[in-house]
Amino acid sequence: MKIKNLFYGFAVSMSLVLGFVQVGHAAINTIDIANNRSAWINSLKPTAKIGAELTITENNKANYSILLSKKPTTQDQKAAEDLKTWLEKMTGATIQIVTESKNSKTSDQVISIGQTQLFKKSKLAASSENLKDEGYGIDQKDKTLFIWGGRTRGVINGVYALLEEDLGCRWYSNECTMIPSIGTLKFAPALRTFVPALSCRDPFWYVAFDATWSLRNRTNAPDAKVPEEWGGAIDYGGMFVHTFHGLFPEKDYYEAHPEYYMLNDQNKRVTSQLCTTNPEVIRLVKEKVRKVLKANPYAELISISKNDGGGTCLCANCKSLDDAEGSKMASLMVLVNAVAKDIEKDYPHVLISTLAYGETGPIPKTMRPNKNVSIMLCSDKTGAWRRPFEPTEICEIGTLVKNWSKVCKRLFIWDYNINFSHYLAPMPNLDVMAENIRFYVANNAEGVMLQANYQTVGSERDWMRSWVAAKLLWNPSLNLYDLIDDFIYGYFGKAAPAVAQYNRLLQKQAEIYKTELSCKWLMDHKYKPIRYDMDHPFLSKEFLYYSTQLYDQAEKLADNKQVLDRVQRDRLPITYVKLVRGPEFVGPDYLMELDRFEKTVEKVGITHLREGGSKKDIENKIILWRKNWNEYTTKK
């Protein structure tokens, strides 16, 4: 294979030169640590009309208080308390929360939260806008600042939008908060309303399941258990995808009623899936769903979906329907539509969800989902599973998205964003992730889930990926590269220039090795596309060499233990590739790399290295790698 030159022509703005080396057959040009910006910038700065300047605090003393209505909602109270907390941390002032009363006169120097009487009397033009569940409004009249929102988390979203977008606060991870310190807080708010295009915003990384992080970053993943009194999160009532086994456990039904289960191609009833046109199955599922909804009053979606692993009932009813409709979604839709129609009057706020996944991906010729059915379209073999480095729009899944959006008004997307065989593998696909989110929104998707490592902390760049994904899911128009730099320069402090250069280096590898990362090349060369091995050509010796140099430099630049810990955590993917490749590839530094890896993963608390692995993944790998080292040194 041809050798790729790693000189990228980055502008030289720092004197942290890494040097000139000869690796393999290619001379690698000098690479300087590029620093396209000298400091952190606010990538979230709003572009709306700017209001009049307000002086909230002056010389660490408050000019403003926070106003609540006489009967505030629990969301109003949370919004007020959080606003008070962060304004006090910013300014050193003590901010009072006051409640409207019938006879008291309200000062105009207040931040009004929610539906106060002051807000209702203001007659703001924006106050009549439909903010749905999670939208918010920020406006002012004279010296009063108003923040209000939709039915669930709207007002809390408004507070965090003000703090993040107008005032530059950040909650990058559950241990990294960036709050400006300013005794006199003067700012002119951007006057705006905003309703997110996506009602479900789920960055499906384990770290993003933290409820507090989720609330602050305006995601609403089902696994991020934001309390209902704070507006909650997407709630499946305990029935989240692949639900057939849970609905009809084999031990309870198979012996007495094998006809409830699918007929396979050997004319045998097996428990892999249900027979979805069986009238008794339909009746029982209706009953079971009603019980679930009665026990889970906050449920918004109930998934009636096939078990993972494929297979469809081939009984006469199911097969004839699927054949006539040209899709195995047809027999599934019989069950899903029946349940949806059964509950729509009593539970008008609940959607019945099912998966368009594998063989149920194609759209039936004439059958259509009921109006309260959501189709969750999975980007499996039609998209990211085979083509993880190519945008959805040019993949088969792109056509499916466009076609499903024409026949289903409640379209959700299940996308894939990590190497599931190697959670720590370097994965240069953030540009594709951003492009895909915009494509889904442009084609009327209501929800997007970005499946990644859901089993453990510490996968490849997981905090940055989660934070960037959260911002794009909330507002797809944001600039990806500004978001990346926002995170890096806020999270890594003085070590940021070296980490930023690594991220550019990784992305450049994807551009240079575009052919080798295409589906055809991967399949032709026996690679499983999204599960590519660690000897893929883009993980070249040159790339690993310079990545190591950059992280060495980042560790030297780190000016405190917290930043050093973050750098060491962030470099794990590079070390992981080397350890997988083995001592013969790495040479005498292998043991040092292994010791460093073991120490860092123990500190971070990483358990799983791959999907479906055990909690002993790390332990077992380290034992194997030490054995490999001992055998290597014995041979030497």
pLDDT, one tens digit per residue, over 499-514 is 999 999 999 999 999 9
Backbone angles phi, psi at 482, to 5 degrees: -65, -40
Q: What is the pLDDT of residue 11?
A: 31
- Give me the pLDDT at residue 105, please: 66
- Residue 158 corresponds to which tokens in the numbers above? 């408004």
pLDDT digits (tens, 9 = 90+) for 476-490: 999 999 999 999 999
pLDDT (0 to 100) of residue 37: 62
pLDDT (tens digit per residue) in 188-229: 999 999 999 999 999 999 999 999 999 999 999 999 999 999
CA angle 350, 412, 270 (to 5 degrees): 80
- CA-to-CA distance for 82 and 73, rounded, in angstroms? 14
Whether 68 is covered by a domain: the verdict is yes
Chosen domain end from 331, 361, 378: 378
Q: Is the pLDDT of residue 15 over 70?
A: no
Classify residue 445: in a domain, yes or no.
yes
pLDDT in tens, 424-448: 999 999 999 999 999 999 999 999 9
Tell me what pLDDT residue 537 has: 97
What is the DSSP pairing of strand 301-303 with strand 351-356? parallel
DSSP state letter for 206: G
Q: Both 202 and 309 in a single domain?
A: no
Interval 61-83 mean pLDDT: 98
- Report the C-alpha gap between 79 and 461 in whole angstroms: 30
Is 386 contained in some domain?
no
Average pLDDT, the chain: 93
Report yes or no on 484 lying in a domain. Answer: yes
Q: Residue 14: beta bridge partners?
A: none
Q: Could you give the number of structural domains in the chain?
A: 3
* Structure token pair of residue 217: 């970053």
What's the one-letter identity of residue 289?
V
Write the CATH number for 261.
Answer: 3.20.20.80
Q: Are residues 212 and 314 in the same domain?
A: no
Q: Kindly state the average pLDDT of the residues 375-392.
A: 96
588 inside domain: yes
Domain co-membership, 374 together with 442: no
263 and 163 housed in the same domain: no
Distance between CA atoms of residues 9 and 343, nearest Å: 61
Mean local confidence (pLDDT), 243-260 = 97
> What's the token pair of residue 396?
């088969």
In a domain, 15, yes or no: no
Alpha carbon distance 154, 152 (integer Å): 6
In a domain, 491, yes or no: yes
Give pairs for 26-31: CB < 8 Å, separation 24+: 26/542, 28/542, 28/545, 28/546, 29/5, 31/6, 31/7, 31/501, 31/505, 31/546
Residues 370 and 256 in one domain: yes
Instruction: Output the pLDDT for position 35.
Output: 47
Same domain, 134 and 153: yes
Higher pLDDT, 19 or 382: 382
Which amino acid is located at 471 in the chain? K
For residues 562-568, average pLDDT: 98
CATH number, position 91: 3.30.379.10
- For every residue of 6-25, DSSP letters joined together read ----PPP-S------EEETT
What element of type H or E holds 113? strand 110-113
Report the pLDDT averaged over residues 336-365.
97
* Rounded CA separation 296/303 (Å): 14
Residue indicated by tokens 């241990």: 175
Are both 289 and 438 inside the same structural domain?
Answer: no
201 and 138 share one domain: no
Whole-number pLDDT of residue 439: 98
Whole-prediction pTM: 0.94
**Pair 361, 429 in one domain:** no
Amino acid at 614: S
Q: Do residues 466 and 587 share a domain?
A: yes
The band of 38, judged by pLDDT with boundaries at 50, 70 and 90, is low
Q: Which domain holds residue 441?
A: 196-221+417-636
Structural domain contains residue 401: no
Same domain for 96 and 123: yes
Cβ atoms within 10 Å of 369's Cβ, excluding its own: 25
Q: CB atoms < 10 A from the CB of 8, how many?
A: 16
Q: Which two tokens stand for residue 430?
A: 């953030």
Q: Which residues pair with 369 in a beta bridge?
A: none
159 with 294, same domain?
A: no
In this prediction, residue 553 carries a pLDDT of 97
The more confident residue out of 386 and 19 is 386
Q: Are 338 and 278 in contact (CB under 8 A)?
A: no
